[in-house]
A and B are shown apart, each in its own frame.
Chain A
Amino acid sequence: MAEQVSRRRLFGLGAAGVAAAGAGALAARAFPGEPPRPAAGEEAGTPYPFYGEHQAGIVTPAQDRLHFVSFDVTTGERAELSELLQEWTAAAARMTQGKEAGAFGAVGGLPEAPPDDTGEALGLPASGLTLTVGFGPALFDDRFGFAARKPAALADLPKFPGDALVPGISGGDICVQACAHDPQVAVHAIRNLARIGFGRVSVRWSQLGFGRTSSTSRAQATPRNLMGFKDGTANLKLEDSALLREQLWVGPGDGPAWMTGGSYLVTRKIRMQIETWDRAPLAEQEQIFGRDKGEGAPLGGKKEFDPLDLTLTGSDGRPLIKDDAHVRLAHPTNNDGAHLLRRGYNYVDGSDGLGRLDAGLFFMAYQRDPRRQFVPVQSALARSDALNEYIKHVSSALFACPPGVRDGGDFWGRALFG
C-alpha cells in the first residue's frame, strides 16, 4: 500500500459528484434576475487548509451551515486544558480535511472499543468544513494563570438598552465555530469535539444555523436574512486586504503577543418577532432597513452596491434614509469608520409555546477590537434602531480567537500557554 487514503475520503469522491449535481439543480431553480446562490456542496470536494497564519472560518467564503458551541471548562488543571486543546487540534486537522476524528475511525478500530469517530459523516466529503476556536473572558480568571495575559480588548461587553439576555445561552470559556456546506458535517465535528472534551469541558450552549446571512467574499452574492432583506452588503470581505489588516486581524502591539494574527468574535442571538414583522407594510420595512427589499439598493440608489448617500432628502425635505434606519446607524461613516466582518446565520429553533416561529439571526462578527468596533456600533443601534421594535437580543458572547495553527506540532492557543 503506497499511501493511506481515509475511508471517508474514498467515499467522498463518489459523493461529491452527487452533491455537485444537486447544486446545479438548485441553481437552476433560482429566481430569474437573481444571481445564482452558491449551493451546499458546490465546493465540497476541496477542503480548506487547516494550517496557516490565521484560523480558517473567518475570511473563508461563508459556508451555508453552522453549528456553534460554547463550552465551560470543568477541569481546574492547566495541563488538562492544554492536552484537550492539543487533542482537539489534532481531531480538527483531520476532520477539516474530510477524515474521521480519530485514526481508526468509525469502523476501523477494535470491536471491543467504542469507535473513535461517531460515524455520521462517513461517506461525506469535507464539505468546506472549517473549525474556529475562541477563548471567552471567563477563561482569564484565576483558574489557569491566564489573568495577566487577558487582552484589554476582551473586556466584558456592556449591557445595551433592550438586552434580554438569557445567561444559560450566553458567554462561555471556549467556543468552537463549525461551518460547512453540509449540516451533517458541521454537527459531526462539534459532536466529536464535545465527546473528546468530556471531563474537561461541558457544553454550555450550542446553536445551529443555516443560510449564511453575510457574504465574506466578492465572489458570493449577498444573502437574505429571515426578514427578507439583504443584510451586510457593506461587510468586510476576503479581498479587502488593507481593510482586513486595519479592521480584522489583531496586529503586533495591539495587546498580548499570543493574540497577534487573531481576531475577536462577538456572537448575539437575535430573536425576530416574525409574525408582527410580516404584517408590517413594505414601505415601513424598507424605511426601517434603509434599503429596498427587492434589489437591496440603499434608498435613493438603484443597485445593491451603490454607495450609501446619507444626505439625500425626499420631496418632503426629510432624509430618504431616516435617522433611525438600520443601514444608517450601522454604517462605518456613522461609527468612526468601524467595520465588522459579519458571518452570521439564520436560525429557526422550531416554534415556541404560543405557536410563533422561534427564529432570527445568530449574529457573528469578527473584528480587531470590539471596544472600537462592535460596542459603539451596537450602542448606536440599541439606542435608536427602528428595527428594535421587531427584534430582541437573547444571547451574547465574546471570544478571543487566537491566530492560526502553524503545523502539526502547533495547537490552538499554544502561545497562551507559553
Chain B
Amino acid sequence: MRTLLLLATAGLAAATLAACSGETQSGTPGAAPAEDAKIAVAANDTECKVAAGEVTAGTSTFAITNNGTKVTEFYVYAPGDRVMGEVENIVPGLTRDVIVELPPGAYEAACKPGMVGNGIRSALKVSGTAQPLSADAELAAATAGYQRYVKSQSDTLLVKTQEFVDAVKAADIDRAKELYPVARTYWERIEPVAEIFGDLDPAIDAREADLEPGQEWTGFHRIEKDLWIKKDVSADGPVADKLMTDVRTIVDRANSAKLSPVQLANGAKGLLDEVATGKITGEEDIWSHTDLWDFDANLEGSKAAVQALRPVLEQRSPDLVKTLDDKFAAAEAALGAHRQGDGWKLHNELSEAELKTLSDAINALAEPISKIAAVIAG
C-alpha cells in the first residue's frame, strides 16, 4: 500500500535521468578510436577486467584483449539488457576496439567467452549531466494514456459505490453483498493512484487489523464485517455516507494528479505486491472471502499501467515486453481457472496447492515488472 506514497516524491529523481531513446549507437569494431584514452578490457575464459568502473557521458572506446583460449564477445548493456554497444568474434590473442555512446546512467560491461551464456559482468557507471525525462514525447503520451484509464475507472467507481451505499442504507443485505466485490473492483484497479493521498486511503480501505487502538474504523471493510458477520447494517448509514464522500474526494484528486512515468511503473508493481501480500493470503476480505475479485482487479490495473508504457518499452527493451506479455498471460490463465459464473470462487474454497500456483504466477510476473521503472528512467 505504501509504494506510491514514497514515489510521489520520486518524480524528482526521474527528472534528473536521461532521455535516451534513439541515442543507442552500436560501435564499429576496429574503427579509429575517439580522442579520449581507450579503456582496456582484459578478457580470458574466466575473467573480464574493465580498467575503469566509471566513465563520463559521451563517447567511450573500449579495447578488448582476449588472453583466453576461447573466442569472446564484449557487450555494454543498459538496464533490461538493452545492448548499447557490442563487438563480437574476438579471437584469442587479438585486441579489438568498440566505440560506444553512453548517456549518464548505470550499465553493465560483459565478456562472453565461448560466445555463450550470460557473460561475466561488471558494473559500469556513466557520469555526467542528463536531460529531464519530461522532454520525451512518448513518455508524456504514456502518462496521458494512463490518466484516461484512471478517469474511466473512477467514473464507474463513483456509480458502483453509490449503488453499494444505497443498498446498505436500504438495509438490503443481499444486494449489498452482491455489490461489495463489484464496487471494490474499480477501487482496486486504480488503488495505487488513490494511495498517493495517504489520509484518504485508510478511511476507505482500512482493515480491522490495521487499526490503532482508539482509531475510528470506516470504509469498505467496516461495512463488510457488518454484512457478513453481524448481518445487520441498520446503524451503518453514516459510515456509508462517509464512504461515498471519501470516494468522491479521492476520485477528484486522482483525476487532477500528475503522474510521472516512473510512478506508473511502480504503480504496476505495487498492485502485484498487493496481490502477493493481501489477496493470496486472504487477508484483504477476511469476512466475505471475495479476495479473488480484488486479485483480478489488481492484475487488470497493473496491466493497464504497463500497457500505457508499452510503446516506450518496445523501443527500449523488446525482450522485457515479450516476457511481460507471457507472464501476464500466464497469471491471467492461473487466475482464470477459478472463475465462477460472472465472478470468482471464494478464497476459502481454494486449496493450498491452488494458492501456491497463483503465488508462483504473481512472483513470475512481478519480477519483470519490477524492472520497468529502471528501463523507463534509464
Chain A positions within 8 Å of B, measured between CB atoms, are 1-4, 51, 74, 83, 86-87, 89-90, 93, 102-105, 108-114, 195, 198-200, 202, 406-411
Q: Which residues of A contact B270 (CB under 8 A)?
A: none
Nearest-neighbour CB distance to chain B for A407, whole angstroms, equals 4
| Known interface pairs A105-B123, A408-B46; A2-B106 also in contact (CB < 8 Å) | no
Q: Which residues of B contact A2 (CB under 8 A)?
A: 51
What are the 6 A-B residue pairs with the smallest beta carbon separation, nearest first?
A: A409-B114, A199-B364, A113-B374, A407-B45, A409-B113, A103-B121
Please tell me if the beta carbons of B46 and A407 are within 8 angstroms of each other in the complex: yes
Q: Which residues of B contact A103 (CB under 8 A)?
A: 108, 121-123
Q: Which residues of A contact B45 (CB under 8 A)?
A: 406-409
Q: How far is the CA of A87 from the CA of B118 in the complex (A)?
A: 6
Q: How far is the CA of A104 from the CA of B105 in the complex (A)?
A: 12
Q: How far is the CA of A51 from the CA of B120 in the complex (A)?
A: 13
Nearest-neighbour CB distance to chain B for A114, whole angstroms, equals 5
Q: Which residues of A contact B49 (CB under 8 A)?
A: 3-4
Nearest-neighbour CB distance to chain B for A10, whole angstroms, equals 13
Q: Which residues of B contact A102 (CB under 8 A)?
A: 121
Q: Per-position contact with A for B342-369: 1 when CB-CB < 8 Å, else 0?
A: 0000000000000010001001111110
Asked if B48 is an interface residue, CB under 8 A from chain A, the answer is yes
Q: How far is the CA of A83 from the CA of B118 in the complex (A)?
A: 8
Please tell me if the beta carbons of B373 and A195 are within 8 angstroms of each other in the complex: no
| Known interface pairs A4-B122, A113-B79, A113-B373; A108-B114 also in contact (CB < 8 Å) | no
What would be 28 A-B contacts, judged by CB atoms less than 8 Å apart? A1-B51, A1-B54, A4-B49, A4-B53, A4-B123, A74-B360, A86-B117, A103-B123, A109-B106, A110-B17, A112-B262, A112-B265, A112-B374, A113-B370, A198-B367, A199-B327, A199-B364, A199-B365, A202-B360, A406-B45, A407-B45, A407-B114, A408-B48, A408-B119, A409-B45, A409-B113, A410-B114, A411-B118
Tell which of A1, A90, A109, A113 touches B118, judged by Cβ atoms closer than 8 Å.
Answer: A90
Q: Which residues of A contact B366 (CB under 8 A)?
A: 198
Please tell me if the beta carbons of B53 and A1 are within 8 angstroms of each other in the complex: yes
Q: Which residues of B contact A407 (CB under 8 A)?
A: 45-46, 68, 70, 113-114
Q: How far is the CA of A1 from the CA of B112 in the complex (A)?
A: 23
Q: Which residues of A contact B266 (CB under 8 A)?
A: 112
Nearest-neighbour CB distance to chain A for B24, whole angstroms, equals 17
Nearest-neighbour CB distance to chain A for B221, whole angstroms, equals 30
Tell which of A3, A108, A114, A200 touches B123, judged by Cβ atoms closer than 8 Å.
Answer: A108
Q: How far is the CA of A357 from the CA of B156 in the complex (A)?
A: 56
Please tell me if the beta carbons of B368 and A199 are within 8 angstroms of each other in the complex: yes
Asked if B135 is an interface residue, CB under 8 A from chain A, the answer is no
Please tell me if the beta carbons of B377 and A112 are within 8 angstroms of each other in the complex: yes
Nearest-neighbour CB distance to chain A for B103, whole angstroms, equals 12
Q: How far is the CA of A202 from the CA of B363 in the complex (A)?
A: 9
Asked if B94 is an interface residue, CB under 8 A from chain A, the answer is no
Tell which of A89, A111, A114, A199 touches B117, judged by Cβ atoms closer than 8 Å.
Answer: A89
Please tell me if the beta carbons of A110 and B118 are within 8 angstroms of each other in the complex: no
Please tell me if the beta carbons of A108 and B106 are within 8 angstroms of each other in the complex: yes
Please tell me if the beta carbons of B364 and A198 are within 8 angstroms of each other in the complex: yes
Asked if B219 is an interface residue, CB under 8 A from chain A, the answer is no
Q: How far is the CA of A74 from the CA of B334 in the complex (A)?
A: 12
Asked if B10 is an interface residue, CB under 8 A from chain A, the answer is yes
Asked if B116 is an interface residue, CB under 8 A from chain A, the answer is yes
In the complex, besides A86-B117, A90-B120, A108-B106, 15 extra interface pairs with C-beta distance below 8 angstroms are: A74-B360, A86-B118, A90-B121, A110-B378, A112-B17, A112-B373, A112-B374, A112-B376, A113-B106, A113-B374, A199-B367, A202-B356, A406-B45, A408-B112, A409-B72
- Chain B residue nearest to A7 (CB atoms) is B123
Chain B positions within 8 Å of A, measured between CB atoms, are 10, 13-14, 17, 45-54, 68, 70, 72, 79, 105-106, 108, 111-123, 125, 262, 265-266, 323, 327, 356, 360, 363-368, 370-371, 373-374, 376-378
Nearest-neighbour CB distance to chain A for B76, whole angstroms, equals 12
Nearest-neighbour CB distance to chain A for B116, whole angstroms, equals 5
Tell which of B111, B364, B376 touches A408, judged by Cβ atoms closer than 8 Å.
Answer: B111
| Known interface pairs A408-B47, A409-B45, A409-B70; A199-B363 also in contact (CB < 8 Å) | yes
- Chain A residue nearest to B364 (CB atoms) is A199
Nearest-neighbour CB distance to chain B for A71, whole angstroms, equals 11
Q: How far is the CA of A407 from the CA of B71 in the complex (A)?
A: 13
Q: Which residues of A contact B50 (CB under 8 A)?
A: 4
Nearest-neighbour CB distance to chain A for B123, whole angstroms, equals 5
Nearest-neighbour CB distance to chain A for B166, whole angstroms, equals 43
Please tell me if the beta carbons of B364 and A74 are within 8 angstroms of each other in the complex: yes
Nearest-neighbour CB distance to chain A for B375, whole angstroms, equals 9
Q: Which residues of A contact B122 (CB under 8 A)?
A: 4, 103
Please tell me if the beta carbons of A90 and B119 are within 8 angstroms of each other in the complex: yes
Please tell me if the beta carbons of A110 and B105 are within 8 angstroms of each other in the complex: yes
Please tell me if the beta carbons of A93 and B120 are within 8 angstroms of each other in the complex: yes
- Chain A residue nearest to B54 (CB atoms) is A1
- Chain A residue nearest to B330 (CB atoms) is A199
Q: Which residues of B contact A89 (CB under 8 A)?
A: 117-118
Q: Which residues of A contact B17 (CB under 8 A)?
A: 110, 112
Nearest-neighbour CB distance to chain A for B332, whole angstroms, equals 14
- Chain A residue nearest to B377 (CB atoms) is A112
Q: Which residues of A contact B378 (CB under 8 A)?
A: 110, 112
Q: How far is the CA of A93 from the CA of B115 in the complex (A)?
A: 17
Q: How far is the CA of A409 from the CA of B363 in the complex (A)?
A: 29
Q: Which residues of B contact A104 (CB under 8 A)?
A: 106, 108, 123
Q: How far is the CA of A51 from the CA of B111 in the complex (A)?
A: 16
Q: How far is the CA of A406 from the CA of B130 in the complex (A)?
A: 42
- Chain A residue nearest to B112 (CB atoms) is A409
- Chain B residue nearest to A49 (CB atoms) is B46
Q: How far is the CA of A96 from the CA of B108 in the complex (A)?
A: 20
Q: How far is the CA of A4 from the CA of B121 in the complex (A)?
A: 12
| Known interface pairs A103-B123, A409-B115; A112-B327 also in contact (CB < 8 Å) | no
Q: How far is the CA of A331 from the CA of B323 in the complex (A)?
A: 53
Nearest-neighbour CB distance to chain B for A157, whole angstroms, equals 24
Q: How far is the CA of A77 from the CA of B133 in the complex (A)?
A: 37
Q: Which residues of B contact A409 (CB under 8 A)?
A: 45, 70, 72, 112-117
Q: Which residues of B contact A93 (CB under 8 A)?
A: 120
Please tell me if the beta carbons of A408 and B370 are within 8 angstroms of each other in the complex: no
Q: Which residues of B contact A51 (CB under 8 A)?
A: 46
Nearest-neighbour CB distance to chain A for B148, whole angstroms, equals 24
Tell which of B13, B51, B53, B360 touches A112, judged by Cβ atoms closer than 8 Å.
Answer: B13
- Chain B residue nearest to A4 (CB atoms) is B53
Tell which of A110, A198, A406 touches B363, judged by Cβ atoms closer than 8 Å.
Answer: A198
Nearest-neighbour CB distance to chain B for A164, whole angstroms, equals 20
- Chain B residue nearest to A204 (CB atoms) is B356
- Chain A residue nearest to B356 (CB atoms) is A202
Q: Which residues of A contact B114 (CB under 8 A)?
A: 407-410
- Chain B residue nearest to A102 (CB atoms) is B121
Q: How far is the CA of A181 from the CA of B374 in the complex (A)?
A: 35
Please tell me if the beta carbons of A90 and B117 are within 8 angstroms of each other in the complex: yes
